[in-house]
Chains A and B, each alone.
Chain A
């Protein structure tokens, strides 16, 4: 029980680090750039 509890906090820390790295490598802008354009393939048009 204690082991899985610690795993949760370890994973939380790991993904916070992922998020920080992602923000620092300007992935936020990359996500925005893709999200503001209509994704034709997503709506079923090639």
Chain B
């Protein structure tokens, strides 16, 4: 039941984040007022159907233009975007990755393709923090041209969501852009193809290894208002939670790990012993679920 609800919410969030359906006629992106609002998931704002702003893209552009905006007398350092991300993170931690992110939904759907599944080494989950530190913050902020403008390093050199949602559709919609395609576009298509392939074999590879947005939300998992709870007295270490987890989290080793996206699959579908629950603002949420005694 929870799984079906989550799929519906994921689908609705994807549709709402990409609800500008006039793009085949205008052949351009949406330019209305909603574009000033950051969506909670990874959704490129250059996607022709996008109705909101990508928080990662927005944060990078703010940091990349800190110097020119300061010269113009403005103090635009990305507090608006950080505020949105911080409020979401403080409330629910990494939950948007499971419930609202269009690229997360895509990864889960592709992973359903029958194949041999592979697990990544645990240390790889820390790579995303390097992408966050360097490609989202330091390089846009510090590598600037003669006029003080930086660039959106993560969007430009890495983001496969941008290639899928914006790069390919915009080249279809605006043929004049095709003349400008070069090695950068080819490399981005290559990165997209690599991740699309990895998604078949590995659970949410982009979220776990690369996504800087997930890295930001994950910093709040331990302290957010919504938190998962592990009951060691009821846990029999059957590892069913790990087997079913879309992120490969070993919940039995502790709740609220950085990669836990609070999809609640472990609680609702895996654990038969009531060893997993959640709390909101420290208040345990009562669950009516049939459980088996560990004894």
Contacts and interface: CB of A to CB of B under 8 A. Distances in A.
Interface of A: 1-2, 4-5, 7-9, 11-12, 14-23, 25-32, 34-36, 38-46
B79 A22 contact: yes
B86 A28 contact: no
A39 B222 contact: no
A20 B85 CA distance: 13
B225 A22 contact: no
B166 A42 contact: yes
A27 B170 contact: no
Q: Is the interface of B mostly helix, strand, loop or mixed?
A: helix
Nearest to A9: B225
B107 to A, nearest CB: 20
A31 B62 contact: yes
Contacts of B79: 18-19, 21-22, 25, 27
B167 A44 contact: yes
A2 B58 CA distance: 34
A22 B152 contact: no
A25 B82 CA distance: 14
Given A39-B155, A44-B184, A12 B90 contact: yes
Contact of A38 (B29, B61, B65, B90): B29
